[in-house]
A and B are shown apart, each in its own frame.
Chain A
């Protein structure tokens, strides 16, 4: 097994991991960054806009990609996951397993392989809203800009149409998953989150109608590089989605699902309501909430701005029944309008479930001293002085807090490395 030596290993290439890596490297430390997906960017790369400024996420990601690209201190591995962590602060040995990409770095991103690829599979990057080929790329702004072949569905040599089509000799089916060891002084866990499985809430209808989607799917639907090129339409029939309901706390703050507040969903729904309103002047958005949580001056200001739009209704009362009207494909949401004191049924084109953030750090093989709390996040004090959790591995946080936390984590990791030397 090959070995690499570094100062800091960062697990996860989302906004937290990227920031940690860049900050530590620019302070003069060597970093190895591993990411389990074929591209960096994590959850942020899937977004249409950031709140509250409503600027595109590319503006935060691109600068970091550039800093990584031109740094001689950062090595990154995609399709890579941690297999084992041993050692102690200042002296860890981490076994990493990297999957096969089947496309080498001769790839120019010409798209010829995708064009000829006969295999289609649900596009998980877009939350299953469309399909993709086995040879693919998320979209045109990814990093690294190098296509990938999904080994789980590709027929490889038996098909090999892409190999004929590739003019650059970039397709290589002989690639194999390989393990290697990273010797590092400190480890930063930036493993992030995944959307909570909305089908677990049997009263919210997810999976029973195509027009009931999650908030993450809504970001893709509104994105220029998404399945519809940014047109917000009903997945069932492509009709313009002019009446949209946002169902808050779909799984969050619920001890049957995620007991904690996911911290971002209120702002995300307010933001998504502006997508709808911007796209269709005659549209209406309904947001059903328990409490609107927009802490801090700038978030409060954003809430007030959104609330000024009289076509966005904020209704106090959690939605507890969602179902499709089979005749029209419309979605009916039921709630109690608490302030009016009555049950209401609202018929909409599209229902967006503001599903919460489920931390993924517990899916990792961690050394026993790293403790996970009952919600699945790393207990901050349990990580000794050498393994640090950041972003949504530690708490449910938004992008700006992730970035702040990541800068702090970089400093902590540097201290661990410095202590050894």
Chain B
């Protein structure tokens, strides 16, 4: 036994994972039940068993450029069947947070989003920003007459705040993905591949929500995530058409029926789908509470932001139509605050998964690992003979 490996445990990493919701990490005794019941893992070098031992040992460098933690969709089949209550689903979620911190800059925004203490600050900061802008360009009060939100805050300052916020969110995410991609290539010794084809295949997979269908216990997530996903698409389309009307066709909002029908159609369909989807996500969590747990602060923060965005947006429209100015404007303000938060925290909150999970799924195809998969179902176990108790696999 001369092939000794020097193990360099990073205790801060272990503590970080534990603090981020992976409290149960140390309960794992490496039975690999999780890996077997997981329906989304590759067959070669499967997860999450190996991630559990790496995290226990504090092998931080193993996670640099590791696509597997992001391939996990947290269906939590592993957690349901774990014989030790080690909750691999939660632990991988916590490791993903570390991964977000690694790739989404600046770090302090990740810490802000991750820490319960700063919850109020998360929303007060954008609220103050918006209040100042409204005071400067609009009317920070309850404007009289018919409820028209542009009286409260005109379109131009909205665009001046929200467009950069969204660009910032996306840019940080894209830069993070670039860094992540380089790390994945290095860590997995991949030099080149079919990038265009991989991106297209990944997009198809995401649009069809294929992976979610393989979840066992938590199969309802397929429907809820699909609804939320496509509602964002619909709302994005509505917003784009809105921008087209205002900026290019110079049509004032609120749009009337007729010319504004498309915006209203996409907007309302999206809003209703979002409300239903997010409600399903929340009720699913309670439904599976006993077996899978309720989830972490990180999960709930995003759920609450999305739920508030959907609810305040929908209510703002209803109260506007009803002409209840005293309620409509405050609700609209809340809506603006939460949409702004959603944009700014895009690459830092749980929503960062759209960047990194997308990249990891794409890398599976790019590196050819997914193609190997299909061929590799063996009926004879390989290394049985060399195995025996007492042999450490922690540093493989």
Contacts and interface: CB of A to CB of B under 8 A. Distances in A.
A64 B94 CA distance: 59
Interface stretch (B30-38, B116-124, B237-245): B30-38
Contacts of B380: 346
Contacts of B389: 289, 291-293, 316
Interface stretch (A154-162, A335-343, A403-411): A335-343
Interface in B218-247: none
Question: Which range contains the number of B residues in contact with the other chain?
Answer: 35 or more
A254 B43 contact: no
A255 B79 CA distance: 12
B192 interface: no
A336 B383 CA distance: 11
Contacts of B377: 345
Contacts of B33: 318, 320
A344 interface: yes
B37 A203 contact: yes
A307 B388 CA distance: 9
Contacts of B379: 345-347
B49 A320 contact: no
Contacts of B386: 339
B44 A342 contact: yes
5 contacts: A316-B389, A339-B391, A343-B35, A343-B43, A343-B46
Contacts of A292: 388-389
B188 to A, nearest CB: 14
Interface string B44-55: 111001100000
A290 interface: yes
Given A290-B30, A292-B389, A338-B30, A344 B382 contact: yes
Interface in B357-382: 376-382
Nearest to A337: B381
Contact of A203 (B81, B381, B384, B387): B81
Among B81, B83, B377, find the residue whose CB has the most chain A CB atoms closer than 10 A.
B83
B5 interface: no
B300 interface: no
A80 interface: no
A264 interface: no
A45 to B, nearest CB: 31
Contacts of B383: 315, 337, 339-340
Contacts of A235: none
Interface of A: 203, 249, 253-257, 286, 289-293, 307, 310, 313-321, 334-347
B286 interface: no
Contacts of A254: 83-84
B85 interface: yes
Contacts of A286: 381, 384
Interface of B: 29-33, 35-37, 41, 43-46, 49-50, 81, 83-85, 376-389, 391, 393, 396
B388 A344 contact: no
Given A249-B31, A292-B389, A315-B384, A338 B49 contact: yes
B381 A313 contact: yes
Contacts of B382: 337, 340, 342, 344
B384 A255 contact: no
A340 B382 CA distance: 7
B46 A342 contact: yes
A313 B49 contact: no
Nearest to B380: A346
Nearest to A307: B388
Nearest to A304: B388
A321 B36 CA distance: 7
Contact of A313 (B46, B384, B391): B384
A131 B161 CA distance: 79
Nearest to B46: A343
A344 B50 contact: no
Contacts of B393: 316, 338-339
Among A254, A256, A291, A343, find the residue whose CB has the most chain B CB atoms closer than 10 A.
A343
B393 to A, nearest CB: 6
A255 B30 contact: no
Given A256-B81, A334-B36, 8 more contacts: A203-B37, A292-B388, A317-B35, A318-B31, A336-B35, A338-B393, A339-B387, A346-B379
B387 A336 contact: no
B56 to A, nearest CB: 14
B85 A290 contact: no
A318 B36 contact: yes
Contact of B83 (A249, A315, A345): A249
Contacts of A319: 36
Nearest to B378: A344
B50 A337 contact: no
10 nearest interchain CB pairs? A313-B384, A254-B83, A320-B36, A336-B32, A318-B31, A336-B35, A290-B31, A340-B383, A320-B33, A292-B389
B385 A336 contact: no
A293 B390 CA distance: 10
Nearest to A258: B83
Nearest to B45: A341
Contacts of A307: 388
B208 to A, nearest CB: 24
Contact of B381 (A249, A255, A290, A344): A344
Contacts of A335: 32, 36
